[in-house]
Chain A
Amino acid sequence: TQLLEQSPQFLSIQEGENLTVYCNSSSVFSSLQWYRQEPGEGPVLLVTVVTGGEVKKLKRLTFQFGDARKDSSLHITAAQPGDTGLYLCAGALTYNTDKLIFGTGTRLQVFP
C-alpha cells in the first residue's frame, strides 16, 4: 500500500507566524496536489505541481515538489485565522493516474 505521510499531524499557532507542512512518500508521483478542507465539507484544490523541483506560490502559500517527485512541502507566511483547516496532499502514481493517494492530513489552527 502506498502511503503519503504528512507532518505535523496537528499544528496550533498564533496569527502572523510562519509554518511548513511536509508530505513524504517512498513512491514517485506524476503529479501532486494540495487540498484544504473545512469541517463538514469536501476538500478544495489549492494547487497542483507536476515537475520535480517545481515551486508554486498562491498569495502567502508556497508549494514545492521534491526533485525526485516523492515529497512536497507547503509553507505559509504570516498565517491568518482564515488559514485554519485540514490540509491534505494527494499524489497521482506514475503507473495509475486514475486515482489519487491521499496524505494523512495536517490540521492547522491559527489563533487571532
Chain B
Amino acid sequence: SQTIHQWPATLVQPVGSPLSLECTVEGTSNPNLYWYRQAAGRGLQLLFYSIGIDQISSEVPQNLSASRPQDRQFILSSKKLLLSDSGFYLCAWSRGTLLAKNIQYFGAGTRLSVL
C-alpha cells in the first residue's frame, strides 16, 4: 500500500531563517507531487506541483521554492522566512493518470510558525 510521510509535524522558526520541509511517498512510482498552504479553517492554496523529476510548476510567486531530488521526494524550501510564511503546509501525491481522476492523498501536514 502507498504511504506519504511529511515532516516535521510542527516547526517554530525566527524571521530570516531558512526552511526545509520534506515529503516522501512510498509504495508507488512516478507520482505527481504537490505542496499546499492552508490558512486556518480555509481551503488549500496550491504552491507547487511536479509531474516528474525536474518538472516543477510554481503556482504563486513568493518566498518559497520546491525541489524534487528523487522520484518520490518533494522538498519545500526558503532561504529567508517571512512572518507571512506562517501556516499549515500540506504535501500530497496522486497517480497522475486520467483514470485516477487526480485523486490526491495528503500527508499529516506541518504547522509552521514564524516569529
Q: Which of A10-51 contact B (CB under 8 A)?
A: 30-31, 33, 40-45, 48, 50
Which residues does chain B contribute within 8 Å of A92, judged by CB atoms?
Answer: 101-102
- Which one, B51, B103, B105, contacts A98 given CB within 8 A? B51
Contact: A48 with B101, CB < 8 Å?
A: yes
Q: Is B75 an interface residue (CB 8 A)?
A: no
Q: Is A103 an interface residue (CB 8 A)?
A: yes
Contact: A44 with B103, CB < 8 Å?
A: no
A98 to B111 Cα, complex, angstroms: 26
Contact: B106 with A100, CB < 8 Å?
A: no
**How would residues 41 to 53 of chain B score, 1 for a CB under 8 Å from any chain A CB and 0 otherwise?**
1111110010100
The verdict on A41 contacting B109 (CB below 8 Å), with A31-B102, A99-B34 known, is: yes
Which residues does chain A contribute within 8 Å of B49, judged by CB atoms?
Answer: 98-99
**How would residues 80 to 103 of chain A score, 1 for a CB under 8 Å from any chain B CB and 0 otherwise?**
000000101010100001111111
- The interface stretch among B12-20, B64-72, B77-85, B90-98 is B90-98
A107 to B46 Cα, complex, angstroms: 20
The verdict on A98 contacting B96 (CB below 8 Å), with A31-B101, A43-B106 known, is: yes
A58 to B103 Cα, complex, angstroms: 17
A interface majority secondary structure: strand
Which residues does chain A contribute within 8 Å of B104, judged by CB atoms?
Answer: 33, 45, 90, 100
Nearest-neighbour CB distance to chain B for A107, whole angstroms, equals: 5
Which residues does chain B contribute within 8 Å of A43, judged by CB atoms?
Answer: 44, 90, 106
- Which one, A4, A42, A105, A107, contacts B92 given CB within 8 A? A42
Contact: B102 with A98, CB < 8 Å?
A: yes
Contact: B90 with A103, CB < 8 Å?
A: no
Task: List the 9 closest A-B pairs by CB distance, nearest first.
Answer: A42-B106, A102-B44, A102-B43, A31-B101, A105-B43, A92-B102, A104-B43, A105-B42, A107-B41
B interface with A by C-beta (< 8 Å): 6, 32, 34, 36, 41-46, 49, 51, 57, 59, 90, 92, 96, 98, 101-109, 111
Given A33-B101, A50-B101, A102-B44, 5 more contacts at CB 8 Å?
A: A6-B43, A31-B102, A88-B43, A98-B96, A104-B43
